[in-house]
Structure 1
Amino acid sequence: MKYDETNPFARILRGELPCIKVAESDATLAFMDLMPQADGHVLVVPKEGASEIFELSDAATVECIRMTQRIAIAVRKALKPDGVFIGQFNGAAAGQTVAHVHFHVIPRWEGVPLRLHAREVAPQATLEGFAQRIRAQLASGSN
């Protein structure tokens, strides 16, 4: 699949669209999902342009997994969920809604259903509050 440079995540990476940043490395960016399926839902994207994981370089794949693990650990410590779901979709038939590789880190609580994917934009202040709690855990170095 040819990579579309106009997808929303490519635009976020270029600074053309805003995001609530949680963490960044030379190769990755982690930010709050604007339409979270659960409180504290974070996305991790490579800075390398690739629509699906099959097109992503080995180096970028490794860096994405490292960042995803860091974020998952910080989410678990900051929000104390009963579990953490990590997902990655490839192609529309698999549920991918943005054609840029990305990993979902979604906290899960017993008895709390997931909200529908890509349906409702969360309030900016709510997202920023969760981001602050997750960033504090990353800064504490206890990951």
Structure 2
Amino acid sequence: MKDESCIFCKIANGEIPSSTIYEDENFRVILDLGPASRGHALILPKEHFADVCALPDGWAAKVLPLGAKIGAAMKKALGCTGFNLVQNNGVSAGQTVFHFHMHVIPRYDGALSIVSWEPGKASPEELAELAKEIKDAL
């Protein structure tokens, strides 16, 4: 299924030009127009899924190995020493295009931190209650 109004559907299916670095029957991987670092790429499924919660298991099983493959190629080609696989779901998590996609962000020694946070604190009691709430929702 494709969404005719979705820009990522159009890019993934070749209707809008992109700097494509990989393509198969299910995915197109493109360089991001607003890169967080040199070589930042997006893995786009050719079918429309709003977010990871809508992504069928078969598709999900292919995304992580593809991310690893692209990341390994970036290390070889670009000389980065690591990479982040980032996937945002929902506005509050930073999702701006509601077509599932995964960022592959090359990381270079000495570069600014891109994906980070300050560790918070939680008591064992709070963690136990949170765990119960989440388990009950499964």
Instruction: Please report the TM-score for the alignment, with normalisation by the length of structure 2.
Output: 0.74
| Map of 2:23 onto structure 1 | 24
User: Could you tell me which amino acid in structure 2 is paired with residue 10 of structure 1?
Assistant: C
- Equivalence for 1:91: 90
CA contact (8 A) 2:83 2:105 kept: yes
Name the Cα RMSD after superposition. 1.8
1:43 aligns with 2:39: no
| Alignment of 1:101 onto 2:100 | yes
Cα distance between partner residues in 1 of 2:13 and 2:47: 11
| 1:86 partner amino acid | L
8 A Cα contact 1:4 1:99, kept in partner: no
**Aligned residue number for residue 78 of structure 2:** 79
Is this contact kept in 2: 1:85–1:107, CA < 8 A?
A: yes
Letter aligned with residue 109 of structure 1: Y
Give the distance between the partners of 2:49 and 2:86, measured in 1 at CA: 17
Paired position in structure 1 for 2:54: 55
AA of the residue aligned to 1:49 = H
Paired residues, what number?
A: 113
- For the pair 1:69 / 2:68, whether they are aligned, the reply is yes
Q: Structure 1's 11 and 114: CA in aligned 2 closer, same or farther, altered over 3 A?
A: farther
User: Matched residues in 2 for 1:102 and 1:61: separation?
Assistant: 11
Report the counterpart of residue 12 of structure 1 in structure 2.
Answer: 11
Any conservation in 2 of the 1:28–1:47 contact (CA below 8 Å)? Answer: yes
Q: Report the CA distance between 1:14 and its aligned residue.
A: 3.2
Q: Which runs of 5+ in 2 are unaligned?
A: 115-138
**Identity rate of aligned residues, in percent?**
36
Q: 2: distance between equivalents of 1:73 and 1:6?
A: 33
- Would you say the 8 A contact 1:37–1:114 is kept in 2? no
Structure 1 stretches of 4+ moved >3 Å:
none
Match for 2:59: what amino acid? A
Gap regions ≥5 residues in structure 1 = 116-143
Task: Determine helix, strand or coil for the equivalent of 1:61.
Answer: helix
Distance across 1 between alignment mates of 2:26 and 2:62: 6
Distance 1:32 1:51 in 2: 20
Which deviations, in whole Å up to 9, do the C-alpha atoms of 1:31-85 show, x marking residues without a partner? Answer: 1111111001011111221010110111111122221111011011111213211
Name the amino acid aligned to 1:27: N
Specify the SS of the correspondent of 2:88. coil
CA contact (8 A) 2:74 2:106 kept: yes
